[in-house]
Amino acid sequence: MINICYQCGEYHPDKIIDTDGASVICPNCGYKQTFSFGPLFLVGGASGVGKSAVCRFLLGKTPDIILLEGDLLWREEFVRPDVQYRDFFETWLRLCKSISLSGHSVVLFCAGAAVPENIESCVERRYFSKVHYLALICEEYELERRLMARPDWRGSADREFLEKQKQFNQWLIENARMTKSQIDLVNTTRQSVEETADEVLAWITFNLSNP
């Protein structure tokens, strides 16, 4: 594990990034370790915009790209909006970093991961050459229709939940070009899952070719 120093054995997620861009340095003993920095792709958006559907559709179609869904690691102890769900995102970045060491690019589909403010301040962010942000968005009437059509057990018809999702969706629409790291947008309102998946894959491919 890269966070454990091979020389002194101390655990440090906050390794110093060497200016040569190809190694990290233990802040405890100064041990320098070769490290390959790659990009990370984050696809987010409100519940109901199509994140999970696109992720499932692309499975098996991207052999050199690892697709992951954010809900896999969600636990109640991560409910910390006061610190922007920091532990949750640090955990995901650590996992994505470990996977990227095998030479594969990672795409994480996770609602709040499309917000740079949630990611850029994380300690584990330093291990990626660049983080690309994409938000799936949807017109409000369609977003509500999709959420209302879900099974009752998901609680998506709850008015408070609906309002939060609509507010988040609108925030992404209004702020995508105003954040420090740009958020690219794909509108899924009138698109099939296949069409949206094609756009997402094209976005990934373009950014891999233009680091």
Are 49 and 188 in contact by the 8 Å Cβ rule? The answer is yes
- Measured CA to CA, the distance from residue 43 to residue 200 in angstroms comes to 9
98-152 pLDDT, tens digit each: 999 888 999 999 999 999 999 999 999 999 999 999 999 999 999 999 999 999 9
Confidence at residue 210, expressed as pLDDT on a 0 to 100 scale: 85
> pTM above the 0.75 mark?
yes
| Terminal-residue alpha carbon distance, the chain | 26
Is the Cβ–Cβ distance between 169 and 160 less than 8 Å?
Answer: no
Give the pLDDT band of residue 78 (cuts 50, 70, 90).
Answer: confident
CATH of domain 37-209: 3.40.50.300
Q: Where are the domains of the chain?
A: 1-35, 37-209
User: What percentage of the chain exceeds 70 in pLDDT?
Assistant: 100
pLDDT at 76: 84
Handedness of CA 132, 70, 196, 165 (dihedral sign): negative
pLDDT digits (tens, 9 = 90+) for 2-19: 899 999 999 999 999 987
For 11, 12, 123, the CA distances from 15, given in Å and listed in that order, are 9, 6, 9
